[in-house]
Amino acid sequence: MVTDTLEIRYFDSLDQLGTDLKVGVSFEKGREYYFIVGKDASGEYNKFFKSYCCDSGIAIGDLIGSINAIPGVPSSDKVYATVEEAYTSLKDYVGKLGKRTSKASIVNYVIFTYSELIYGNVSGNPFEKNLLILPLFVEVMSGLIRDGVNYNFRKSDKILSSIRKYQKTLAVFAEDVMLYEKDTDPKSAFTRIDQHRIPSVSFSGLTTLICNNPEPEIDLVEAFIPNTFDDLISYLLNRYVIGYHFYRCANCGRYFAFTTDTKNKSCTRVIESAHYIKDIGRTCRDVGRLRSHVRGLYSNETQILYQRNYKATFARKSKGYITEEHFAAWSETARQMRDKCINGDISYDELEKWFLDNYLRE
């Protein structure tokens, strides 16, 4: 399944969107695709507007927010406050519009509003996030298409309050059913948990095939189109319990899903704000990998011995006491000796003696 390019897509006519819009989901090759569909004149969901994509469990994790207080990563409260603010100002905006405002222009304004929340782009690295806020805004679009500025926002208000409720129950689900450290078998954890503490796993809607890639090769994928936002959440939970585990990212503290064959403890989210400027624009996974590599090397006594000698020799070369040529030959052998020591071919004392015996002087 392919996503459209990471650009805000506006539509040209209401006919393009259809009516009774929904956000459906498809699980494909370790990723989740959320797409907007509408009914055509025959009442079938044949109008496909746009799909958005994230790695498994990222959307649920984004909705819950960071579990630990981590600078630059939004908490549950912050996630909710941001959505609520955007939604409230959207309602205010629509409330002030004249009766003759074109539906198309208002709906495009909704697209603009939610795009601000779901698109990120740091250091030239574009990505999508917060995809589970889409149903809220798509409901508004649907209402505006039907009723224009007379839309009463009742159904979307309900979705907003559901978002608040789900942040709490999904956190319980993530932690007590799905978290790999707590239970390696989500199915048995699920059968033990008090079902009132987690969202329902019963859903209704339509399971169908959608064609998202008409050229060059037709790509038909299984897709679920829920009746309501609650049905979408319940469907996701079903998928997770059956086929996934969760981790809480070691870097950003947000949940993500994995199947049993990948055990990386950092997520693939792009870091938007961080203590180290260099980390911004990288993924949690890249940063985690880098840190553990560096930690492994530096904790090693052998590496410390090597670095101390290397730095001292390098300094003497910089001052002109040693030629570039001799330094190059020495550092090559020094590296080989260090690796021999790490591999256990020579002892630490032997390596230390080697550095003393091979002190470079011209």
Q: Which residues are at the interface with Zn ion (CB under 5 A)?
A: 249, 251-252, 267, 269, 284
The nearest distance, CB 41 to Zn ion, in angstroms, is 44
Exposure on the CB side of residue 319, measured as CA atoms within 13 A: 8
User: What token pair was written down for 209?
Assistant: 């095939």
Q: Alpha carbon 215 to chain centroid distance?
A: 28
Calpha distance 287→281 (Å, rounded): 10
Nearer to Zn ion, 240 or 256 (CB): 256
The answer for residues whose C-beta is within 8 angstroms of residue 336's C-beta and 6 or more apart is none
Cβ closest to Zn ion, residue 110 vs residue 252: 252
Nearest to 131 by CA among 31, 209, 221: 31
Instruction: Collect all residues with Cβ–Cβ distance below 8 Å to 88 and sequence separation of at least 6.
Output: none
Q: Which is nearer to Zn ion, 46 or 259 (CB)?
A: 259
285 within 8 A of 270, measured Cβ to Cβ: no
CB of 258 to Zn ion, least distance (A): 12
Q: Which is nearer to Zn ion, 163 or 252 (CB)?
A: 252
267 φψ region: left (φ > 0), alpha (ψ -120 to 50), beta (else): beta
How many CB atoms neighbour CB 300 within 10 A?
14
User: Collapsing DSSP states into helix, strand and coil, what is residue 245?
Assistant: strand
Please say which residue, 103 or 129, places its beta carbon nearer to Zn ion.
129
Residues 248, 60 contacting (CB under 8 angstroms): no
Least distance from C-beta 248 to Zn ion, angstroms? 9
Closest distance to Zn ion from the beta carbon of 285 (Å): 8
Q: How far is the CB of 250 from Zn ion (least distance, A)?
A: 7
> C-beta of 25: minimal distance to Zn ion in Å?
22
Our CB check for Zn ion shows the closer of 274 and 322 to be 274
